A = this chain, B = another copy of it.
């Protein structure tokens, strides 16, 4: 037994991780050289779904991160504190870190990686994005030859499940959310998922790796899926689209300037991301000279996420076996960038839009829309009067690429017109 692990947390992913480490047969032979020394938990008496060697549990988490015998601390507590402090303490003690904590890394990555670089230890986080899908490591290690143009992901399983069910069954958001909660696909408080915050954490991490700069999480634009209606999904379908919550990061012409945003998006049906359904996740990376590659798989769940956690543990053990106690980090696996990227504000982004209008049934309304849009440089790809909702006419518009600020100004002006009742939905188009 060469390498000793300290596990912080024994929830769903912690239990999955322990189960793999305690049953190595048939897996990578390197696992046989890895031993869990201690697992830090809140309660020693709680029933567990895994058979643990006696005496392995402790409520003293400080003891784990300072234990001189432990080589790698695996942080699966989630949340910001005490996760952040424990990771920093472990780093200061020269321990490598494996974590699934997207929230802590998206917010405190700067502090954590600076400390890790000084201490000469790795902080690996494959499980933080895309569950079991290898995506962080391929971004770090397999795409370095490329100038990355963009990274687009379906990185939240809960919202993808909800949108898939709404698309398949024509149901409304609230019904499907309730069903997802019954099935355990959505949490009792689903805010972080349905408001896009979880996806924003994840795209901040992916962008930081893909574009080699730090990202201020609070600058990431984020819009959730609560306003998406069955009507919009049905109109999108007729126009040749499905609606997905996408997390998008794009490089801009100016160096170290990025566009990062999370929002529901109309995705053309033939696009590779359009067929990613239910709780599956996928990340599409586009670069030069590579073109498009996509990574697809289960975005959550104990087994898949534990698979990613253990992959990171194996990686560190592989490196320790080959390089011994050197404190030089492999620049592809460590976080070697220090500077922050600047993100352009959402008004400056350029995209296509879908918008649905309820208007009085008067002649000239479509002409009026077209004129208002034209005055703000918004060029229309299609305008369709779908039918009536009560006494109001329902008109759906898809624009060509347009600066968001211009589009919003046009909408404000349009809403001032008496002929326009309301604009129930505005969704960006990929």
Contacts and interface: CB of A to CB of B under 8 A. Distances in A.
A290 B328 CA distance: 32
A278 to B, nearest CB: 12
A269 B336 CA distance: 44
Contacts of A133: 293
A272 B295 CA distance: 12
A321 B311 contact: no
Given A28-B332, A138-B138, A311-B141, A304 B289 contact: yes
A237 B308 CA distance: 37
Interface in A98-132: 126, 132
B310 A144 contact: yes
A19 B306 CA distance: 39
Contacts of A330: 318-319, 321-322
A297 B286 CA distance: 10
Contacts of A310: 144-145
Interface in A285-341: 287-298, 301-304, 306-311, 314-315, 318-319, 321-324, 326, 328-333, 336
Interface in A182-231: 212
A322 B315 CA distance: 14
A15 B134 CA distance: 29
Interface string A1-42: 000000000000000100110000011111100000000000
A326 B324 CA distance: 9
A145 B293 contact: no
A60 interface: no
Contact of A331 (B30, B138, B328): B30
Interface residues of A, number: 63
A372 to B, nearest CB: 40
Contact of A332 (B138, B144, B308, B318): B318
Contacts of A314: 141, 144-145, 332
Secondary structure class of chain A's binding surface, majority of residues: mixed
A33 B405 CA distance: 43
Contacts of A212: 28-29
A147 B132 CA distance: 14
Nearest to A132: B290
B30 A332 contact: yes
Nearest to A139: B134
A86 interface: no
Contacts of A328: 321-324
A27 B29 CA distance: 35
Contacts of A93: none
Contacts of A324: 323, 326, 328
A408 interface: no
Given A326-B322, A330-B321, A332-B315, A134 B143 contact: yes
A303 B322 CA distance: 32
A376 interface: no
A272 to B, nearest CB: 7
A144 B30 contact: yes
A146 interface: yes
Contacts of A142: 126, 134, 137-138, 308, 311
Contact of A306 (B147, B289, B296, B302): B289
A141 B28 CA distance: 10
A385 to B, nearest CB: 34
Which of A19, A275, A311, A326 counts the most B-chain CB atoms under 10 A from its CB?
A311
Contacts of A315: 141, 332
Return the 9 tightest CB-CB contacts between A and B, nearest first.
A289-B303, A28-B144, A323-B323, A293-B297, A145-B310, A134-B142, A318-B332, A134-B138, A322-B330
16 contacts: A27-B146, A27-B147, A28-B145, A132-B290, A137-B138, A141-B315, A146-B307, A272-B296, A290-B304, A293-B298, A318-B333, A321-B328, A321-B330, A322-B326, A322-B329, A324-B326
